Amino acid sequence: MTHRLFVAIRPPEAIRDALIDLMDGVDNARWQYEDQLHLTLRYVGETDPHTADDLVEALAEIRIEPFELRVSGVDFFERKGVPHTLWAGIAPSEPLLRLQRKVERACTSVGLAPETRKFAPHITMARLNASCGPSAPFLARNTGLSLGPWQVDDYILYESHLRPQGSLYEPIVTYRCKDP
């Protein structure tokens, strides 16, 4: 049996609520549920139990002080010129980049392939497909979005369970930020 894993930061309730309140105005978009809102530090993917156990231990070795984050703006990812994901951005943060690099090192230290995509900190708000209405009005209405700051005190190893009604994200281990 394998585990579909990722490492993420869960925004506090006030930030999640504010994002949920914005989720409207794009016909047929698959808006995320409150329990799906997170900032992915590293998507791990399908992992055997032994590697998953090693990853749990490697992530526990990370040392980083708590730090602040802010949501800043909205945008979308596209594939071949077609938007597929609406997201809320995260303001530039050196501590966030340090944490992400440490998580990446923990992943590669247990034999996982290095991540090849550039880290683009964001919180996914909606999944889009060809049947969705235009996203430009949503983007225009929310372009100046600014939420927070909030203090990041922990990061979480999640297991993702795929379901027809959307993925279920189960927290496996919560790691507290602690002084280096």
Q: How far apart are CA 58 and CA 62, in angstroms?
A: 7
What tokens appear for 118 in the block?
A: 């550039």
Neighbours of 115 (CB within 10 A): 16
Contact 180, 49 (CB under 8 A): no
Q: Are 37 and 11 in contact (CB under 8 A)?
A: yes
The answer to whether 169 and 36 are in contact (CB under 8 A) is yes
Active site residues: 38, 122
Q: Which amino acid is residue 127, in one-letter code?
A: R
